[in-house]
Chains A and B, each alone.
Chain A
Amino acid sequence: MRRPVRDSLFCLAIASTGFLSAAPRGGVLHVALRAEPKTCNPVTALDAPSRDVIRRLHADLITIDRASQKTVPSLAESWSVAGNKYTLKLRKNVRFSDGAPFTADDVLFSFAVYSDEKVRSPQRDLLLIRNQPIDVRKLDAHTVTFQLPGPYAAAERIFDSIAMLPKHKLEAAWKSGKLRDAWSLNTPASEIVGLGPFRLKEYRPGEAVRLERNPYYWKSGLPNLDGLEFHLLADEDLQLARFVAGDIHLLNRLTPKAVAYLERRPEAQIVDLGPSLEYNFLAFNLSPNSPHLSAFNTREFREALSLAADRDAIVNLVFQKRATPIWGHVSPGNKLWFSNKIPHPARSIDAARARLKSAGFTWNPAGTLLDPAGAPVTFSILVSSSSHERQQMAVLLQADWKQLGIAVTITPLEFRALLDRVLNTRQFDTCLLGLGGGDADPNPEMGVWQSSGAMHLWNPNQKSPATKWEAELDALMQNQMGATKPTERFRLYARVQEIVAAEQPMIFLASPNVVVARANTVGNFRPAVLDHQTLWNVEELFLSKGGPAK
């Protein structure tokens, strides 16, 4: 799973990308999805598969160019800043995929929906600055102003995550309070309209999601492809077999073993982009209904588990050395925001046991860890059944923590069922997941670190912070969002990293490299470290009909 990641339509005009290969039109690009999408609704989508599909259907006002990591115009052809007020000029003659015109009314509608507390959109956290909403006003049919309630660093990056919605299609659902139910996978394809390069053609449950070229797409002459098909292949082995058979054109994130296998194949090109922004972690369930709250709520317990975790083994055995061990949530791959003040305590079972002892934990004669109330400490790790790497990490942690006298059960679950337990029902002890990849900037992770956030995985949607350190996190995240000086922002966000690393509501484990592969027939292939690594410029991709593409 990844954090609420940003929509990623690339908006450089084709004229400015003269280095791109001459692109033949036509063909259907086939790619893999690791799990079935849960929804086609960009307002409510939390899971990566849904977002991978949705991002090809919609567009945003300003987008982050995944190659340069800088903001570039998208549906807004230009913008100006005066104090805290942003004025965006929209492109003219832009149409939704059903032919309806896109105007400032759609922009106002979209921001009203995302900011609506009842809708509970994960993007809402981004749009609140010191808990105040952004004031959005229409100047004319193609000009919109955004008055921020206070200073907001890198404000134009906010727009990258917000897909523009068609007012004519969704207003009725919003007004009747049913927007969360809108655009499910059962909705007829013709009802789902957007401004992206593709539109939904058909959804075959358990099999594939087929998109077709959006005939009204606003980038002249694009997309090059007639269609894009997402095949639902839960297992990487299946994806690899289909890739080698020529059924799949791109593989987005390769495991190290898959890399070793594909390196010998002449028909595939492999690109290692180095350290990613992704961080893999084990999150505790610290919600009030958690069955293991007394142990999990003890900081020394969490510290002990972190001390006993063998991160080097994870890097060496799981990622075949194509990863970096981490103790905080910002990976070394994020050179702008990585704080080198986060301590890297060496793995020590003795130190872990001492930490447990200091918190009142004891051991019975059989070596089983007992909590201060005398109950044996056991818990389960939820892990995606489609992620071989995370299952391997869980097996290593299970053995590490057995040395502390803790019996850990590993429970592989289908990814959607896992997300449902973690985000909705909260029926889990711990979960092993990964986040990151959307943007290097801290703001998209407001929902992860703020106590009110839907992605505050250890205890989400809090009315008020449950602990002092979470209150401090809330304040720091709000302050960094408003700080205009880069050095001040860095200082504040470094403090966030320090608090999270010290309190350890999540035990950070490793950050893998980004390795992708393409079939040699895919042209204009320009993978990026940011999510989505291979499809961010999907409208420019093409399929070569005679021999390898450049």
Chain B
Amino acid sequence: MTRLFLLLIVILLLGPLLAPHDPLLQQRELANLAPTAQHWLGTDDYGRDVASRFLAGASWSILVGAAATALVLAIAWLIGGAAGFLGGWVDQLAMRLADLFLVLPWFYLLLGLRSLLPLSLPPRPAFALLLLTIALVSWARPARLVRGLVLTAKEAGYVHAARGFGVPAPVIFFRHVLPATFDLLATQALILLPRFILAEVSLSFLGLGLGEPDPSWGALLVPLKQAWMLDQQWWRLLPALCMMPVFIGFAALARQWGGSSARSTLR
């Protein structure tokens, strides 16, 4: 099951290469077509192939989601790890900062940031900037989890032994304490990655994401806002159905990973 899911992710990452048509090509005489052998998911208002746009949008969504996840976990790992290991005022400062970031209304922050960006900024850099901003304000929760784990790890017998043998503190931190958080980070990655992909979908759906003509998953869902759409063009639901296995797969994988890591901890 896991292998199947990972294969699906690889396929989606290679999406632009697998797209049967140019995702930007407007074949205006073929607008709003129902699915055919040529156009598996039909065509959109401009005659663009929806399947190609789905595949091309997938790699962008997953790559940006992965970049944001990596950034969040890197920040969380360092801040949470340092807070837990050093304690004292560093811990206090880091946790108060985390409290502050936890209460930030990221969506409104994002709206404000978007209005500050110049109109002429190309959509991809503008959108990547926005998503990275979300990432920067999302480090607090995983950082607290890392801190908790580090607090436990630094009291472990092998850490006391290392201290007794005179191993320098930085070495203990990087070699013996932080590795104890790897399972947690992996689980968090599996939780955060779909969350950030979903953030992209939500932002594009609301018109704040990747602009036209670039394909994105959120933009494919925009027609569903129209009350009459499913009444007249049922196939517009297909991209949403195609996205579901990705999110379900991430959730299942996170649960599986979290379970196995909990069992390994119990042993």
Contacts and interface: CB of A to CB of B under 8 A. Distances in A.
Interface of A: 235, 237, 240-241, 244, 257-258, 260-261, 264, 291, 310, 313, 316-317, 378-380, 382, 385, 388, 391-392, 394-396, 398-399, 409-412, 417, 427-429
Contact of B227 (A241, A313, A380): A241
Contact of A409 (B46, B120, B228): B120
B interface, size bucket:
20 to 34
Contacts of A313: 28
A395 B212 contact: yes
Given A261-B227, A261-B231, A261-B232, A392 B120 contact: no
Given A313-B28, A399-B46, A237 B212 contact: no
30 contacts: A237-B225, A237-B227, A241-B227, A257-B228, A257-B232, A261-B227, A261-B231, A261-B232, A313-B28, A316-B28, A317-B31, A317-B45, A317-B46, A391-B212, A392-B46, A395-B213, A396-B28, A398-B213, A399-B24, A399-B26, A399-B46, A399-B213, A409-B119, A409-B122, A409-B123, A411-B211, A412-B211, A427-B119, A429-B119, A429-B120
B228 A261 contact: yes
Contacts of A385: 207
B226 A237 contact: yes
Contact of B228 (A240, A316, A391, A429): A240
A258 B212 CA distance: 23
Contact of A410 (B31, B211, B225): B211
Interface of B: 24, 26, 28, 31, 45-46, 115, 119-120, 122-123, 207, 211-213, 225-228, 231-232
B225 A412 contact: no
B37 to A, nearest CB: 23
A242 to B, nearest CB: 10
B119 A260 contact: no
A88 to B, nearest CB: 48
Contacts of A382: 119
Contacts of B207: 385, 412
B225 A396 contact: no
A328 to B, nearest CB: 24
B228 A260 contact: yes
B232 A396 contact: no
B46 A396 contact: yes
A113 to B, nearest CB: 34
Nearest to A417: B115
Given A399-B26, A410-B212, 7 more contacts: A244-B227, A257-B232, A258-B228, A313-B28, A382-B119, A392-B46, A399-B24
Contacts of A258: 228
B122 to A, nearest CB: 7
A399 B46 CA distance: 10
Contacts of A429: 119-120
Given A240-B227, A380-B119, A411-B119, A260 B232 contact: yes
Contact of B28 (A241, A317, A409): A317
Nearest to B123: A409
A458 B31 CA distance: 33
Contacts of A409: 119-120, 122-123, 211
B229 to A, nearest CB: 8
Contacts of B24: 399
A378 B120 CA distance: 9
Contacts of A398: 212-213
Contacts of A427: 119
A389 to B, nearest CB: 11
Contacts of B26: 396, 399
Contacts of B120: 291, 378-380, 409, 429
B129 to A, nearest CB: 15
A369 to B, nearest CB: 16
A257 B119 contact: no
B237 to A, nearest CB: 16
A291 B225 CA distance: 36
A402 to B, nearest CB: 8
Contacts of A428: 119
A388 B231 CA distance: 18
A411 B123 CA distance: 9
A235 B211 CA distance: 18
A313 B211 CA distance: 21
A291 B118 CA distance: 13
A394 B207 CA distance: 14
A392 B45 contact: yes
Most buried by A among B45, B207, B226: B226
A547 B172 CA distance: 81
Contacts of B212: 391, 394-395, 398, 410
A118 B175 CA distance: 74
A427 B120 CA distance: 11
Closest 6 pairs (CB-CB, A-B): A261-B228, A395-B212, A411-B119, A240-B227, A313-B28, A399-B26
Contacts of A317: 28, 31, 45-46
A412 to B, nearest CB: 5
